[in-house]
Amino acid sequence: MSKIAVIGTGYVGLTTSIGLASLGHQVVGYDVDPAKVEVLQAGKLPIHEPGLGEILGDVLKSGNLKTTSVLSEAVTDADFIFTCVPTPQDEDGSADLSYVISASTAMKDFLKAGAVVVTKSTVPVGSAQIVEDAIGRSDVEVASNPEFLREGAAVYDFQNPDRIVVGARSNEVAQSVMDLYSKIDCPKVLTSQATAELIKYASNSFLAIKLSYVNDIAALCEAVGADSHEVLHGMGLDTRIGNRFLEPGPGWGGSCFPKDTKALESIANSFGIELPLITTAIASNEAAHKRVADRVMNSLGGSLVGKTIAVFGLTFKANTDDTRESPSIAVIERLIGRGGKVVAFDPMVSDYKLAGLTVAASPAEAASGADALVVLTEWAEFKSIDAKEILAAMSGNVVVDTRKVLDQSVWTEAGANFPTNPTTKAV
């Protein structure tokens, strides 16, 4: 079992440190903020991630996970140091590496000879060299081990990954990092640093392109009167296409796809390469947000001025409390921008600062007096909401369900009007 330090207790850092500790390693999680460290040490998770809290309790109890806000304590003894710091988006769309660089610089003098610094954060091609330069030690190795976890399914994804990718200058170093995952049975890819870095961006961007295509096809289905669920299911039966990641929605979002598609575009452009499919997928995603706002506006007589719209769902998908780059917020901004007032309910969000948006404490409170209801996140609990109670609370009856989470026949029977695209005719 190895001694590991994990730098950063954000979403990636937490799942990495808890996951590696659960595999039996001695892990020290470091965060610059002592308050965050205390919360963790008390066995509390600062994020909502199903199943992760239980494992946190186990690894604290077994002593495999310790936490600290003193960097030297975390890294001095560590054989492997995982950097899991944020790589936010710069104004030009490229990834901002300043946290990665400052973490590398801060730890360099504490590292023992032979230590391997492993980058988990999603970083542009060439970042390993930047980390090597920031550390500036020939006796320390740098590897890339991109994470492929989905928020809301991180525990499952950690334990059952489709693959693990490690890139390093030598196969030996890459293998030493891969050995940390010896208890996990899955395809394992040992490669160069640049290849590992690119596998992550290429995967996320491919999935974003797939979803943009899915949303465009779903819009076409509605326009021609075809059933999008059946069309996409029929398409996914072709194993070359695959049946996952085929759910249409109000657009894709989250802390990864929007940032990573723009970063990949920016990386490619810096090498003089154009990636028109990615550029189009980003534009198609914005069109998906606009389509939802259009649908609501057209169903309410062509104007949102003076209208109140109830929204179910603020997070970028279900089973997370994360609203970063949420398509729900993008749609709400458009509704408000067109003169509407929005009252939203989300099981995990009790406050969100946006002029024109109020967050309600219950679905019925959000629906009260609303002209239309829009469902933007696929929370399972929305399925059991009482249609009659919600429609009775509303002043109108328009319901736009972008995630197909409500039982349309039950809601229609209760008086809901699910508008189809009012600008097109069925054929």
Binding site for ligand UGA (CB under 6 A): 122, 147-151, 204, 207, 211, 245-247, 249, 252-254, 256-257, 316-317, 327
Q: List all residues 6 or more positions away from 150 whose beta carbon is below 8 Å from its beta carbon.
A: 157
Q: How far is the CB of 259 from ligand UGA (least distance, A)?
A: 8
Structure tokens at 217: 């096809």
- Name 358's bridge partners: 343
The two tokens of residue 287 are: 């069109």
- Closest separation in Å from C-beta 254 to ligand UGA: 3
Q: How far is the CB of 304 from ligand UGA (least distance, A)?
A: 24
Report the Cα 413 to chain-centroid distance in Å: 36
Least distance from ligand UGA to the Cβ atom of residue 131, Å:
19
Smallest gap, in angstroms, from Cβ of residue 46 to ligand UGA? 17
Question: Does the active-site annotation cover 221?
Answer: no
Residue 29 or 86 having the CB closest to ligand UGA:
86
Long-range Cβ contact pairs of 91-96 (< 8 A, separation 24 or more): 92/266, 93/262, 93/263, 93/265, 93/266, 94/124, 94/262, 94/263, 94/266, 94/267, 94/270, 95/122, 95/123, 95/124, 95/259, 95/263, 95/266
Extended strands (E) in 145-200? 164-168, 188-191
Terminal-to-terminal C-alpha distance of the chain: 64
**209 vs 387, beta carbon nearer ligand UGA:** 209
Cross-strand pairs, 144 = 119, 167
Q: How far is the CB of 382 from ligand UGA (least distance, A)?
A: 14
Catalytic residue, chosen from 84, 186, 221, 256, is 256
Nearest to ligand UGA of 124, 253 (CB atom)? 253
Cβ closer to ligand UGA: 261 or 397?
261
**Shortest Cβ distance from residue 303 to ligand UGA (Å)?**
29
Contact 101, 130 (CB under 8 A): yes
Q: Which residues contact 133 (CB under 8 A, 6 or more apart)?
A: none
* CA atoms of 43 and 131, how far apart (whole Å): 32
Alpha carbon distance 266, 120 (integer Å): 20
> What is the rounded distance in angstroms from the CA atom of residue 53 to the CA atom of residue 58?
9
User: What are the C-alpha distances in Å from 31 to residues 34, 38, 41, 143, 315?
Assistant: 7, 10, 12, 21, 25
Q: Are strands 65-68 and 26-30 parallel, antiparallel or unpaired?
A: parallel
d(CA 1, CA 384): 46
**How far apart are the C-alpha atoms of 70 and 156, rounded to whole Å?**
31
For the bound state, the minimum distance from the C-beta of residue 202 to ligand UGA, rounded and expressed in Å, comes to 12
**Contact predicate 87/97, CB 8 Å:** yes
Catalytic residues, by residue number, are: 256
